[in-house]
Amino acid sequence: MHRAVYFKNLYGSLKTFDKFVCYKYNSDMVVDFHTHCYKPLLAKKATSLIPVGSPYGPFYDGTADGLIKSMRDSGIDRSVVLNIANSPYSVKAVNDYAIELLSYDNLIPFGSVHPYYADIEGEILRLKEHGIKGLKFHPYYQRCELCDKAAYKAYELGAKHDMIMLFHGGHDLMLKGDNSNPKLLKQIYDDFRGAKLVFAHLGGWDLWDDCFKLLVGKDVYLDTSFAFMFLTKEQINFVLENHDNKKLLFGTDGPWTNSKDELMHTKQLCTPYLEDILYKNAAKLLGL
């Protein structure tokens, strides 16, 4: 489906959700499980890649302070910040920045290891010593096959040290490829049962049919970032009815979406598990 049609679905859904609101969200707490921020110079570079006027943002300036302001304006209390080491050479610097972000009380940074990094276990231990609980993997940007031998070694070490491992799922707006599709993520799920796995974008951005067939209903966490906004209410209801709502995590993918709109959209879902999706599931997984 063309991207413009996705946004037509988004705005159409926002107008119709009020017809079937069933539950009131009674908690003030919200955890956004999927956000990004960068050091100022890198933030400027990252946000400049999006054309002016794009519906994909950026909706803040890409910095930590910009993210926090966006959270405050949207009513979001805590945000998981997903850092990504694009190459073996950037691992230490990326994780140094993740450690810096621990100084913000309302940010929960994840680190990253590249599958070709020489001392993956040492870097994971360094992150854990600082209290960082998760790793982000994005095979498009890391230029590594999702299920190759080196990648599996990284996942094995992540699982060994009880790290949350969050994987990009589906296509990517900026890079062409098919290296993190639901079929491959299903393989990760099968091979790492018991590990703390989170598949972003419901595990299959722009590959929704495969996502619904292969991942929805499995015992794995799915985050809603950059996903619910593209789905019809019937597709969203399919997810809510067929996936364990205790394994759904609210996410926005800021700054590439408007977090205020994302939160409003999610709060109108017809599910008694809304508090779980917006807060309790994340709190349990993160040990908050």
The enclosing domain of 279 has a CATH number of 3.20.20.140
Residue 95 DSSP SS3: helix
Give the whole-number percent of the chain exceeding pLDDT 70: 89
Cα–Cα distance for residue pair 65/214, rounded to 1 Å: 38
Q: Residue 74's closest CA among 262, 266, 250, 269?
A: 262
- Give pLDDT, residue 3: 37
Those residues whose C-beta lies under 8 Å from the C-beta of residue 87, and which sit 6 or more positions away, are: 114, 142, 143
Given a cut of 80, is residue 21 above it in pLDDT?
no
Cα–Cα distance for residue pair 118/1, rounded to 1 Å: 41
Is the residue at 119 inside a domain? yes
CA dist list (Å): 92 to 122, 159, 187, 190: 11, 20, 29, 30
| Contact assessment for residue 227 and residue 7, using Cβ atoms and an 8 Å cutoff | no
Is the residue at 92 inside a domain? yes
Span 82-91, pLDDT tens digits = 999 999 999 9
pLDDT band at 54 (very low <50, low <70, confident <90, very high): low
Q: How many CB atoms lie within 10 A of CB 163?
A: 22
Is the residue at 18 inside a domain? no
CA dist list (Å): 223 to 20, 66, 271: 23, 22, 16
- State the maximum Cα–Cα separation within the chain, in Å, rounded to a whole number: 55
Span 206-255, pLDDT tens digits = 999 999 999 999 999 999 999 988 899 999 999 999 999 999 999 999 99
**Amino acid identity for residue 207 in this structure:** L
Is the residue at 26 inside a domain? no
Is the residue at 221 inside a domain? yes
The domain in which residue 275 lies consists of 3-13+34-286
Task: Quote helix, strand, coil % in the chain, to nearest 5.
Answer: 45, 10, 40
Residue 115 DSSP SS3: coil
Is the residue at 180 inside a domain? yes
pLDDT band at 47 (very low <50, low <70, confident <90, very high): confident
Residue 187 DSSP SS3: helix
Question: Mean pLDDT across the stretch 161-187?
Answer: 88
Q: How many CB atoms lie within 10 A of CB 148?
A: 11
User: What are 134's strand-pairing partners?
Assistant: 164
Is the residue at 48 inside a domain? yes
Is the residue at 25 inside a domain? no
- Residue 248 phi/psi, 5-degree rounding, is -110, 135
Structural domain count, the chain: 1
